[in-house]
Structure 1
């Protein structure tokens, strides 16, 4: 019984003293692993992936009439840029929103990107 209590207190102490962003990243990576999703850090160009994570930013880009919505997706291991071409706005896509995305990983200027991914909105963070 003392062992269980000491384990509880060590986990509590860790949660109270460790960096919140790091704990959040670990929690996101654990939930993605539990769901069977791919980890962004393990994905490379050409891979067909399903990932679970959170949107860090969402922006509408309208360069000379070409509309696109761009979002930064983070799963606790790495970031991936999501781009929906031909869209000016997507209801429900907003920073802090948890999403499940599926698509083929590409490369844009040395960064991971998925164009026109399938997405499912999840519960709010």
Structure 2
């Protein structure tokens, strides 16, 4: 009975399958996965925005988003912006820039970006 329950639980848990599907969708030439992207090097990433939040930093407006590609999560911050047309949760996005670590969180500031249909 334990094996059957474990197998049913595995089939019911779609998070792993969703992550595998995302990795397949976002594979492209010159694009690295978030999990493999090196810090402080110019990278091009693709993923889906999970959250988008207005979070002021040092008295300056900042639009903050979480990008997920199935291998990891990256925080993206656009300083001086309150809103960007097309940037919303669930949107697919390609970004380019250098990843830094701020307070232990991998962050990409003011990246070049392209909305993916």
Please give the TM-score of this superposition, normalised by the length of structure 1. Answer: 0.78
Q: 1:63 to 1:116 in 2, by over 3 A?
A: closer
Count, aligned residues: 106
Contact 1:32 1:38 in 2 (8 A): no
Displacement of 1:47: 1.6
Report what 2:87 is aligned to.
93
Report what 2:70 is aligned to.
76
From 30, 42, 63, the equivalent of 1:48 is: 42
Displacement of 1:122: 1.2
Question: Any stretches of 5+ residues in structure 1 without a counterpart?
Answer: 1-16
Do residues 119 (structure 1) and 113 (structure 2) align? yes
Please give the TM-score of this superposition, normalised by the length of structure 2. Answer: 0.83
The structure whose residues are more often helix, as a share, is 1
Displacement of 1:61: 1.6
Report what 1:60 is aligned to.
54
Q: Distance in 2 between matches of 1:121 and 1:24?
A: 21
Q: Distance in 2 between matches of 1:62 and 1:110?
A: 18
Larger-Rg structure: 1
